[in-house]
Chains A and B, each alone.
Chain A
Amino acid sequence: MFSSPEPAGFLPLDQLHALVARLMQLGYQCLGPAVENDAIVMRELDAPDGLPRGLQAEQAPGRYRLTTDPQHRYFAWANGPQAIKPQAFAPQESLWRVERDAAGMLQFEAVVPNAPAQAIIGVRACDLAALALQDAHFLREGRRDPHYAKRREQLFLVAVQCAEPGATCFCASTGDGPTPTAGYDLALAELPDGFVAVSGSAKGAAVLSALNLSAANAQQVDAVRQQGQAAAAAQTRSLPGRTLRDALMSRLEHPRWDEVASRCLACGNCTAVCPTCFCHAEIDGPALDGEASRHERIWDSCFGESHGHLHGFNVRPDIRSRYRQWLTHKLATWHDQFGRSGCVGCGRCIAWCPVGIDLTEEVAALTGSGVSHE
């Protein structure tokens, strides 16, 4: 089902709390969906039965509204504004600190993050694909980022199959969803009476075997497959291909860049919600008494004026060049860096854009492949 060699187990609906309880027993801080500021976010569960039911959100360009799932399911929501990126790549953290010792000499020291063991329940296939790309960047051979690594190795990922994609979703066209295929410890697919469950790691297998599940029957496994196919078929947006590198890099002076720049506010929302964006600024935070300073990194955006700042000139002084930088990095030059596109089809940049700029529509306009939805 999830391309796992392991036989699938079946977790009855009223036993979901047993999985959470097991993870809590193992010492994991368990994160699950919660509503905050009218959006679905991942927050710590206070009890094993604390997972909410019936949450759903309607998404469209520039629009995200909470709704209720008439079927009262646990995971019928498509995604919230954040994937699991903040759990591994912290929005702001100290890299090192420096202080003056008694003799006034500078003493530098590394800051090691205090990362709790976290289990995240409800991770989507697009988020797993994005995390794999973040891993490729931050855990690059020979240049492993110790801060990212420390948080990342503490994660236990419980993925769920998306049964109800949002109108902004297009993971089927990027090949990253809606059914998780790799990168999880456990994966669940929600059916009316319970969850088909498989493990994807030794950690996951140990948790699953402790639950003593009965095997999922052929009918259940087939229902999951059909549910995945239906969720893929229900997606109304798509990209015109998985390798758009040459199509975009040969259109760097296309008039559409000016057109989109006239709508784009350069607010950076798309980069803040993008699960693969990795840009960050490094800043210093000196103590008020002047005796120490912290060197921190903080998420940054290529839409900000400071991103391309150099003394004397700005590499990207206008919104046209910033939007072009973002889109061509994400969909074109990402191939040079990581061997694939940097877009996993989560659609967050579309829903959370205050003016509703739709990446799939921009790509269609740029490449002349026609608007790919509706």
Chain B
Amino acid sequence: MSQGIDAGPPHAATVVARTQESPTIFTLQLRLDDAATQAAYRFAPGQFNMLYLYGVGEVPISIMSDPEERDVIGHTIRAQGRVTQGLAALQPGDQVGLRGPFGRGWPLQEVSGCDVVLVTGGLGCAPVVSVIRYVLRRRERFGKLVIIQGVKHAEDLIWREQYDRWATLPDTQVLVAASEGAAFWPWHVGRVTELFGLANFDPDCAVAMMCGPEGMMHAAADSLLARGLPESRLYLSMERNMQCAVGRCGHCQIGGAFVCRDGPVFNWGEVKALLAHRGF
């Protein structure tokens, strides 16, 4: 399992804790029922698991807990489709199936000693939040941390207190924008890309990681590259229909790559050509 070559059947896992993050977003802390399997479970931030809801089906969910947290495996999920709405109804003690981890995670080794720029769009992007937490727990290994988050509506921002807290940390910059603001919204109102000029990082020693709607990532990539960040240090996490998670079922292909196996994290240069064409 730790090799991530796990086409099935899934392993039984039990919900040990459940947190409601927003009206539609919740976090499940899972523990594999077999103690030895749980103890042997390893993953890298940016990888994902397939979570199985009994009798309904599987969904790919990125892992947001810390890789050194060996006791539970955390997943933040938006109740959206048949499976995730069912997962939302689970309570501590309920069981699911879990297989994974799958795919290629973030290049956290390459980041060592450099600034980390994290760009997310949409509703609380778990793959990137896992990196924020990873960096904060190992603060001495990294340079400045820049967190750039864009949401459509102010109320879409989950973990808002955490953004407030992160903004107070040394060497940490938080830039948040909502296209539509709300009362007491302390951040920018407008497009997130308007904030890139404020981002404080050293383009010669920085790595950027992005996650969110592809249009937003395109605009973010343009801004970051214009700031002098080399393309080789710009990464993104892709989302595609994934059913097998082992590069077999074909749904997640983007060009010759299987997102589940070759991604979900890609270097910008690997996918930029196809991202420019709608339909891949």
Chain A positions within 8 Å of B, measured between CB atoms, are 95-98, 100, 105-110, 137-138, 140, 142-143, 145, 249, 252-253, 278-284, 286, 290, 293, 295, 297, 300, 302, 306-312, 315-316, 318, 320-322, 324-325, 328-329, 333-337
Contact A336 B12 (CB under 8 A): no
The reply on B89 being an interface residue by CB < 8 A is no
A306 to B10, CA, bound (A): 24
Q: Which residue of A lies closest to B122 (CB)?
A: A312
In the complex, whether B54 has a CB less than 8 A from a CB of chain A is yes
Assess the B248–A109 pair: CB atoms within 8 A: no
9 contacts between A and B (CB under 8 A): A106-B54, A108-B9, A138-B248, A290-B55, A295-B57, A300-B251, A309-B241, A329-B253, A334-B256
Number of interface residues of B (CB under 8 A): 39
Other A-B pairs beyond A107-B12, A310-B239, 11, CB < 8 Å: A108-B10, A108-B97, A279-B250, A280-B250, A282-B249, A297-B249, A306-B241, A312-B80, A315-B240, A321-B279, A336-B255
The yes or no answer to B8 lying at the interface (CB within 8 A) is yes
Q: A284-B56, A290-B55, A309-B241 are in contact. Are A109 and B250 (CB under 8 A)?
A: no
Chain A nearest CB, measured from B101 CB (Å):
15
- What are the 7 closest A-B residue pairs judged by CB atoms, nearest first? A336-B256, A321-B279, A96-B9, A279-B250, A286-B55, A108-B9, A333-B256
B23 an interface residue at 8 Å Cβ cutoff? no
- Residues A106 and B81 in contact, CB atoms below 8 Å apart: no
Known: A98-B54, A297-B249. A142 touches B241 (CB 8 A): no
Minimum C-beta distance from A251 to chain B (A): 11
Within the complex, what minimum Cβ distance (angstroms) separates A260 from chain B? Answer: 14
Is the CB–CB distance between A308 and B256 below 8 Å? no
With A95-B7, A96-B9 given, is the CB distance from A137 to B253 under 8 Å?
no
Provided the pairs A105-B95, A279-B250, A293-B54 are in contact, do residues A316 and B12 lie with their beta carbons within 8 angstroms?
Answer: no
Could you tell me if B80 and A311 are in contact, using CB atoms closer than 8 angstroms?
yes
**Residues in B neighbouring A334, C-beta threshold 8 A:** 256
Q: Once the chains bind, are B7 and A98 in contact (CB under 8 Å)?
A: no
Q: Which residues of A contact B251 (CB under 8 A)?
A: 279, 281, 300, 307-308
CB within 8 Å of A: which of B90-120?
95, 97
- With A143-B248, A280-B250 as contacts: A315 and B279 at CB distance below 8 Å: yes
A100 to B12, CA, bound (A): 11
Contacting A at CB under 8 A, from B228-249, are: 239-241, 243-244, 246-249
